[in-house]
Amino acid sequence: MSRLRVGVLVSGRGSNLQALIQASKDPLYPARVVVVCANRDCAALEIATKAGVTRQVFRLADFADRKRRDLAMARVLLQHGVELIVCAGYDAILERAFIRQFAGRVINIHPSLLPDFAGTMDAVEMALEARVSETGCTVHVVTNDVDQGPILAQSRVQVQPDDTVDTLRERIQAEEHVLLPAVVRRLAGQALPIPV
Ligand code: GRF
């Protein structure tokens, strides 16, 4: 079985990266993480190292501008034969030139039921402040409009009256760790790029 070659972009803790790596330990899982790219030093890189996955950091300070940084990252992804790119807690906006190169092959996981609380790193905080009764997470295709690309899947999470940002985030992330590997599995079984 040839498995879909996945590149993962990270900036933080890496629990979604971990979920994908864990899923791909099953030899029947139809995808595997072949390279991890970060825009800074972060815990996710340690997860890649432990799993024996190639990892590389693309610090903005090392490049003339964002475009050059993203195009350098694109080259590395292509060198690894990546067919699908997963933004898993990647906190920089991808340049248009990068998105054009991988149109329909970049997905993102966001901690809200999009289109609610789009375009923010504080979606969990905002859901609590807005006193919504449910929130959740969304996997969507990345386009030039931040958090507005076609939605691939969502999971709902009920907000409890005594929820704090931490408790709510924890339950949303537990859903993310199921949803993201499920979406990648589905995409591995269909033609890519996804039409956008
Ligand atoms: C996730 O909650 C994801 O929805 C958001 O960033 C967080 C990343 O968490 N985009 P982790 O680094 O995968 O633990």
The reply to whether 196 falls in a domain is: no
The reply to whether 193 falls in a domain is: no
**110 in catalytic set:** yes
| Ligand 1 geometric centre to CA of 69 (Å) | 22
Choose which residue among 8, 10, 15 to substitute to test ligand 1 binding: the one with the highest number of ligand atoms within 8 A of its C-beta: 15
Q: How do residues 39-58 score in pLDDT, each as one tens digit?
A: 999 999 999 999 999 999 99
Residue 85 has pLDDT above 90, yes or no: yes
Choose which residue among 173, 175, 184 to substitute to test ligand 1 binding: the one with the highest number of ligand atoms within 8 A of its C-beta: 173
Mean pLDDT of 75-93: 98
The reply to whether 194 falls in a domain is: no
pLDDT value of position 144: 96
pLDDT value of position 149: 97
| Domain with 36 in it | 4-188
Residue 196 has pLDDT above 90, yes or no: no
Residue pair 6/80 in contact (Cβ under 8 Å)? The answer is no
The reply to whether 127 falls in a domain is: yes
Mean pLDDT of 156-171: 98
Going by pLDDT thresholds of 50, 70 and 90, the confidence category of residue 8 is very high
The reply to whether 106 falls in a domain is: yes
Report the mean per-residue pLDDT for the chain: 97
Cβ(176) to ligand 1 under 6 A?
yes
- Kindly state the helix (H) or strand (E) to which residue 10 belongs, with its residue range: strand 4-10
Domain count, the chain: 1
Question: How far is 128 from 193, CA to CA, in rounded Å?
Answer: 36
Cβ(140) to ligand 1 under 6 A?
no
The reply to whether 31 falls in a domain is: yes
Indicate which atom in ligand 1 lies nearest the CA of residue 169.
2
Q: Is the dihedral of CA 161, 163, 168, 170 positive or negative?
A: negative
Task: Please give the model's pTM, rounded to 2 decimal places.
Answer: 0.98
| DSSP 8-state code for residue 118 | -
pLDDT value of position 35: 98
Q: CA neighbours within 13 Å on the CB side: how many for 47? A: 25
Q: Which CATH number do you get for residue 124?
A: 3.40.50.170
The reply to whether 195 falls in a domain is: no
Phi-psi region at 13: left, alpha or beta (left = phi > 0; alpha = psi -120 to 50):
alpha
| DSSP 8-state code for residue 131 | T
The reply to whether 109 falls in a domain is: yes
